[in-house]
Structure formats: C-alpha cells, structure tokens
Structure 1
Amino acid sequence: MVLHFGKATGIFLKTMPFVFLRMGVGLLLGIISILYFGIVIWLGMTLLDAGTISGWIAGVGLLLAIVIFVGAWRLVSRYVLYLVKAGHIAVIAHIVDTGEVPSNQLQYGTSQVKAHFKEASALFAVDQLVKGVIRQFNGKVASVSNLVAFSGGVRSLVRLVGRAIAIAASYIDEAIIAYMFTTEEENPWRAARDGVVLYGKNWKPVLASTLVIILGLYAATFGLLLALTPLASVLGTLSTTLEITGWVVVGGLVLTAYTGFLNPWVKTVVITTFLVEAREDTPDSETMDRIADRSKKFRELMKNAEEDVDEEISAPAR
C-alpha cells in the first residue's frame, strides 16, 4: 500500500483559495441558519406571550419552519455547495495530472465544472449514482467479515472499520469525479463508468489508504476535542451559562477544523492516491463485467452511458 501523503499535502496547500472559499461559504450558511431560527423562535415566543397563537399552533409553525429550512438547505447543497466542491476537485485533479497550479483557481475550477457538467443537476445525479456504485462494490469485495475475524474482543473494531468503509464511499466518489476532469471523454456518464472501472482495478490500495486516513481523521478530531475540553471546564467553574457557551465554542472550533481543513485534506489524499495509482491503467470489459455482477447501481450507470452512445449514433449529422 502506497500512501501519497506528502504529495497530497503539497497539493492541498496549493489549493488554499478553494479551502478558504469552502470555509467562507460554510460560515455564511451557518450565520444564515442561526439568524433564521433565531427569528423563527423570537417570532413564536412573541406571539405566544401576546396570546395571539396557542402552543400547538406554535409547534406546527416550528415544524413548518424546519421543513422549509431543510428544503432550502437541499437546494443550496445541490446548486452551490456541490459546485464549489466540484471546482475544488477539478483544481486538485489538474495539479495531480499536470503538476501545474492554475493561475486563477476559482475561475479555472468553475470553467471546468461548466465544461463537463452542463447543469448542476447533472453533476448531482452522476455523483449520487457513483456513490451508490462504490458503496455496493465496497460492500461486496471488502466486507468487514473478510477484513476482521469476529470475536468478542474485536466487535468494536469491526463496527469502526465497517463505518469507515461506508464513509470511504463519500471520498472515493470524489476521486471518480476528479478522474472525469482529467479524461477527454465528454459524456459524463461514460466518463463516470470508466472511472469506476479504474477504481475496480485499483480498489485495494485506494480503499486501504482511505481507511487509514479516515481512522486517523477520527483520532485527530477526538484529540482536538480533548485538547479544547479544558476551555469549557474552566468556564464551567464561573457559571453554568459560561460552561454551555464554552462547549458551544469548543464544538464550533472542532467542526470548523474538521470541515474546513481535515475533511478537504483527506479528500485531496484520496483523489491523489486514486489518480496516481490508476494513471497507467485503462478501463477494460472484464473489470466492467465484474463490477456489474456486484453492483446494481453500476448496471444503471452502464445503461445511462449506453443510452447516450445510442443517442449520439442515431442523431442526424449537421
């Protein structure tokens, strides 16, 4: 197993403009969320105190506000966060593939996303299907029972590894998206199919390195939480309110470090490992059939790719 930590860390540091952009977007969405629920709660309490509405109406109103928020969050995630994430992936893929850093990363990433995915919904659809394929494939070829012998003393480890394998899909699908930015294939479904096939040929080093860094991510996050815990404890000696505030601050700092730096770094390592390991390989029908036998989602991906091929063949010449 080859861990490309050094190369990936160097690439990660070169893509700081996108890292800070993602942090900025996340911070903005966090502030908007706090203001939204703050206004909803203030309005509900004001109307309750005035006797304008009853308690059950306030409860229904709060539930409706939550439903609206969830719907809006999904739209933002699909049309904003996905595009920012894909732009970052495009820049990482370019650096791994060419060794060069685009002069204007944000502009380059945006242009690459628009060139490969005409609409944000297309990116979302491809990403979700690829993630499903990876989950099914990993579940068949790298089941926990094949990795760890079950016994009373290792049950916790088995559950931890199983969870890590499930989480790995969310990183490996980004590596497939990265491959799509490096290939000359213009059709996203065929490019995604080929990327999955290359993963099928290199799944052992890619999945193994992904599991190592995910487990390391668990440890780093837990260690950071322990390091910041004394802050809340000190404030707790002053008052309960300050202790609660301290825990909120600690949670916010840990979440910021996790989502802003640790998570993008792990993504960069996985993408770098996949692109480097698969660089000399080409998709083949044997691996394609093997994955199709293990994944219903992959058969759906193949169908989408074949339908697009048929449409192009049957389209009249211009």
Structure 2
Amino acid sequence: MVLHFGKATGIFVKTMPFVLLRMGIGILLGIAAILYFGIVIGFGLWLLDAGTISGGIGAIGLLLAIVIFIGAWRLISRYVLYLVKAGHIAVIAHIVDTGEVPSNQIAFGKSKVREHFKEASALFAVDQLVKAIIKQFNRRVVSFSNLFAFSSGIRNIIRIIGRAIAIAASYIDEAIIAYMFTTTEENPWRAARDGVVLYGKNWKPVLGSTLLIVLALYAATFVMLLAMTPIASVLGSLSTVFEVVGWVVVFGIVLTIYAGFLNPWVKTVVITTFLIEAQDDTPDSATMERIADRSDKFNELMGKAETEEKEPATAPAR
C-alpha cells in the first residue's frame, strides 16, 4: 500500500485559505457550543441547588438540550459548512490534477461548485447517495469478523475497526466528489457513477490509508482530551459549576481543532490518495457490475445517470 501523506500534507498547506476559513467557522461554532452548554448546564445546576427541579427532570432537560444542539449542528453543517467543504474539495482536486494553485481559492472553489452543481441541494443529493453506496460496498468487501472469527480476544478491536470503516466512508465519498470536479462529464450522476467504479478498482490503497488515518485521528483526539483535562481540574477546585464549565471549554476546544484543522487534513489525504491511485484507470463494465451486485444504492445511482441522459433527448421541441 502506497501512502501519499507527504504530498497530501503539502497540498493541505497550499489550501490554507480554505483551512483558515473552516477554522474560523469552527471557532465560531465552538464558542457557540461553549456558550450554549455553559448556559444550559449552569442554569440547570442553579435550579437543582434551589430545589426547583429534581435530578431526573434536570437529566431530561439536558438530554433535550443535546438533541436540539445536534439538530442545529446538522442544519448548519448542511447549509453552511457543506458548501465551504465542497469548495475546498474542488481546490484540492484542481491542485492534484494540474499541480497549479488557484490565485483566489475561495472564488475558484465557489465557481467550480456552481459549474458542476446548479443547486446546493443537487450536490447534497449526490453526496448522500454516494455515501450510502460506499458504506454498502465497504461492508460487503471487507469483513473483519470473518477474518478473525477464530479469536474472541480481539472482538473489541474488530468493532473499533468496523466503526473506523464506517467513519472512513464519510471521507471517501468526498474523494468521489473530488473526482467529479476533475472530469469533463456534465451529467453529475454519471460522473458520480464513474467515480464509484474507480473506487471499486482502487479500494484497497484508498480504504487502507483512510483506516490508518482515522485510527490515528481517534488517538489524536484522545491525547488532546488528556492534555486539556488539567483545565477542568483547576476549575474544579473552585466549585462544581466551574468544573462543569471547564469540561465544556475542553470539549469546545477539541471540537474546534477537529472541525477546523484535523478534519480538513484527513480529507486532503483521502482525496489525494484516491485521485493519484485512480488517475491511470478508467471505469469498466466488469467493476460496475460487481459493485451493482453488492449495492442496491449503486443501481439507483445508475438509474439516475440514465434518466438524466435521456431527459434532454425526450424534451419536447419548441
């Protein structure tokens, strides 16, 4: 397996305008999360101390606050971070494909997204379908439980790897989107289909490097949490409220670093690996049929590609 970490890191540095933009958004979201949970938890503890609510009601209120936060996070991710992420993907793909760095990356990324996807909803629809295909393909092709069924002592490791594969799918679908930015195919569904086929031909190096980096991401996140626990400990010596606030700050900082720095770097590595490994390959019918046998979602994608091609030809003349 060939790793392209060095080249990908160089590209990551070259796309620093997008990285800083995402970091800025991540910081704002991190501050918003700290303020939100700080107010919610602080208010809840105040009510508990005053005897206004019981511990059970407080727990239910906290759970409801978490659900609301997750819903708001997903909404912001879909309509704000998603377009920024797509623009960043377009720039990464351009650098890998041509070796040239756009002078105005933000404007370039925005124009490429508009060029390939008329609406943000179209980009989101393609990405969601591709993500579902990759998940199905990975589950069918890679079965660690079968490989290590003889040893019960490593079942927990198998579960971790299985979870890592699921997380890897969220990065690999972005590599497919990156491929779509490098092709001249005007039909986005057909371009996505071809990208999936190329992944089917090169899944071993792409998935292998992605798994390595996702597992490293687990470790890095854990180390960051350990490194920042003294903040919560120091504040905990003052009062319970300050300790809770300290933990909120710690998680907010970790979330900011992850969303603004680590996540874009991982994405760059996966995209670079995929585009390099697939650059000399072309989609073929044999691989297409093999993936179709493993994924009903891929059959749906092929159907959309054919429908998109037929619609202009069957449109009534004016």
**TM-score in terms of structure 2 length:** 0.87
Quote how far apart the aligned CAs of 1:38 are.
8.1
- The answer on whether the counterparts of 2:30 and 2:253 sit within 8 Å (CA) in structure 1 is no
CA distance in 1, matches of 2:24, 2:226: 26
Equivalent position amino acid for 1:259 in 2: A
CA distance in 1, matches of 2:30, 2:149: 43
1:154 aligns with 2:146: no
Match runs of 1:265-304 below 5 Å: 265-304=265-304
Q: Which runs of 5+ in 1 are unaligned?
A: 45-54
Equivalent position amino acid for 1:273 in 2: T
Which 10-residue stretch deviates more, 247-256 or 167-176?
247-256
CA distance in 2, matches of 1:217, 1:308: 39
**What is the CA deviation profile of residues 230-266 of structure 1, one whole-angstrom value per residue up to 9, with x for unaligned ones?**
3322333344333323222222222222221111111
Match runs of 1:7-18 below 5 Å: 7-18=7-18
Counterpart residue number, 1:19: 19
CA distance in 2, matches of 1:172, 1:207: 8
Quote how far apart the aligned CAs of 1:70 are.
6.2
Quote how far apart the aligned CAs of 1:283 are.
0.4
Counterpart residue number, 1:172: 172
Structure-2 change in CA distance of 1:95 and 1:146 (3 Å): farther
Counterpart residue number, 1:102: 102
Counterpart residue number, 1:205: 205
- The answer on whether the counterparts of 1:79 and 1:121 sit within 8 Å (CA) in structure 2 is no
SS in 2 for 1:190: helix
Counterpart residue number, 1:181: 181
Structure-2 change in CA distance of 1:63 and 1:259 (3 Å): closer
Counterpart residue number, 1:248: 248
CA distance in 2, matches of 1:150, 1:228: 40
CA distance in 2, matches of 1:214, 1:65: 29
Equivalent position amino acid for 2:284 in 1: D
Quote how far apart the aligned CAs of 1:167 are.
0.7
Structure-2 change in CA distance of 1:63 and 1:249 (3 Å): closer
1:314 aligns with 2:314: yes
Equivalent position amino acid for 1:217 in 2: L
Q: How many residues align?
A: 313
Between 1 and 2, higher relative CO (CA 8 Å, sep ≥ 6) is seen in: 2
- The answer on whether the counterparts of 1:199 and 1:278 sit within 8 Å (CA) in structure 2 is yes
**TM-score in terms of structure 1 length:** 0.87
- The answer on whether the counterparts of 2:232 and 2:244 sit within 8 Å (CA) in structure 1 is yes
Structure-2 change in CA distance of 1:205 and 1:147 (3 Å): farther
CA distance in 2, matches of 1:255, 1:39: 18
Counterpart residue number, 1:223: 223
**What is the CA deviation profile of residues 27-53 of structure 1, one whole-angstrom value per residue up to 9, with x for unaligned ones?**
334555666788999999xxxxxxxxx
CA distance in 2, matches of 1:255, 1:147: 35
Counterpart residue number, 1:52: none
CA distance in 2, matches of 1:241, 1:37: 12
CA distance in 2, matches of 1:290, 1:178: 23
Name the Cα RMSD after superposition. 3.2
- The answer on whether the counterparts of 1:165 and 1:211 sit within 8 Å (CA) in structure 2 is yes
**What is the CA deviation profile of residues 92-123 of structure 1, one whole-angstrom value per residue up to 9, with x for unaligned ones?**
11111111111001000000001111001001
- The answer on whether the counterparts of 1:78 and 1:120 sit within 8 Å (CA) in structure 2 is no
CA distance in 2, matches of 1:132, 1:316: 34
- The answer on whether the counterparts of 2:30 and 2:252 sit within 8 Å (CA) in structure 1 is no
CA distance in 1, matches of 2:274, 2:18: 21
Counterpart residue number, 2:48: none
CA distance in 1, matches of 2:263, 2:84: 14
Which 10-residue stretch deviates more, 157-166 or 64-73?
64-73
SS in 2 for 1:90: helix
- The answer on whether the counterparts of 2:30 and 2:255 sit within 8 Å (CA) in structure 1 is no
